[in-house]
């Protein structure tokens, strides 16, 4: 077994060892989360070797706390599903809508939902943006690339495909969704376009938003959309939330947007010191 020696082995060596099988992550609510991997899922690989804190730990911890106040969650750019799975497991009476346009990631997302026997996750293969129709998805090299984008020139491209485009506003109307509580967005530079296509929902529901902000790419666009909507902007850090006057990127990239009037209930949620920890392996290596 290699895993007991991970702490003394160079990280660059560990990351080259493929993890194949079903990974089991033990959550703080005594539930378990399973990820199926064929050796090409980089997120699953990191989680197996270094535990739940290996992937966006500050954001994941905040996300879990906010789930207490979130019956309906949108995970846009869901990839293979770590946030969607966490949301569905922590709040089995709630509903999660996961959007992932990259076909191979969508297939892994579907498998992970099935292996966890979750019935409260709706998955959609469309690319969320600011219009309905079709859009080009630019796919960089890699078996399961994490930085596919609808923005041309965002990354070196090995393939381009056409996928269905949709807006949050149209999806909510068509599916009679009563109220979105939390939106998590990670779409490699397209985040501001998604918010442009969600203006009705942002005005009606005032959802909390966890959003990736890329330095020099999306800050000004996000500022122009959010400045008149009454949202407060926070960096998500290991030391907690740091309020900023304007949208700007930082080392962790992920940021929190919350309406001023929702501050009291969010601060209440953050009083709880819950943690996600522990991981083991069910089969594979």
Q: Give the residues of the chain that fall short of pLDDT 50.
A: 273-285
**Domain at 55-270: CATH code:** 3.40.50.150
Please give the Cα distance from 273 to 175 (Å, whole number). Answer: 35
CB neighbours (10 Å) of residue 75? 29
pTM listed for this prediction: 0.89
Per-residue pLDDT at 274: 44
Per-residue pLDDT at 280: 43
Tens of pLDDT, residue by residue over 144-187, are 777 788 888 777 777 889 999 999 999 999 999 999 999 999 99
Please give the Cα distance from 31 to 26 (Å, whole number). Answer: 6
Per-residue pLDDT at 6: 60
Per-residue pLDDT at 1: 57
Domain boundaries, the chain: 55-270
Per-residue pLDDT at 230: 85
CB neighbours (10 Å) of residue 237? 16
Per-residue pLDDT at 278: 39
């Amino acid at each position: 077994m290699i895993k007991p020696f991970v702490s003394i082995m160079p990280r660059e060596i560990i990351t080259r060892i493929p993890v194949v099988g079903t990974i089991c992550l033990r959550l703080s609510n005594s539930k378990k989360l399973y990820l199926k991997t064929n050796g090409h899922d980089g997120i699953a690989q990191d989680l197996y070797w270094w535990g739940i804190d290996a992937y966006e730990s500050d954001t994941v911890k905040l996300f879990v706390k906010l789930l207490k106040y979130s019956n309906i969650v949108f995970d846009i750019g869901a990839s293979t599903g770590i946030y969607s799975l966490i949301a569905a497991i922590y709040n089995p009476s709630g509903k999660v809508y996961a959007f992932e346009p990259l076909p191979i990631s969508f297939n892994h997302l579907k498998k992970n939902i099935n292996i966890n026997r979750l019935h409260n996750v709706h998955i959609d293969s469309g690319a969320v943006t600011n219009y309905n129709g079709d859009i080009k998805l630019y796919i960089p090299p890699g078996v399961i690339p994490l930085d596919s984008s609808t923005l041309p020139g965002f990354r070196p491209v090995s393939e381009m495909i056409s996928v269905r485009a949709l807006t949050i506003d149209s999806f909510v109307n068509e599916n009679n969704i009563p109220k979105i509580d939390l939106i998590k967005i990670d779409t490699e530079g397209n985040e501001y376009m998604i918010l442009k296509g969600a203006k009705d929902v942002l005005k009606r529901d005032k959802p909390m938003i966890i959003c990736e902000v890329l330095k020099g790419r999306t800050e000004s666009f996000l500022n122009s959309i959010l400045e008149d909507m009454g949202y407060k902007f926070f960096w998500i850090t290991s030391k907690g939330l740091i309020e900023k006057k304007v949208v700007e990127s930082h080392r962790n990239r992920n940021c929190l947007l919350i309406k001023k009037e929702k501050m009291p209930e969010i601060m209440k949620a953050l009083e709880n010191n819950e943690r996600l920890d522990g991981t083991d392996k069910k089969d594979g290596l």
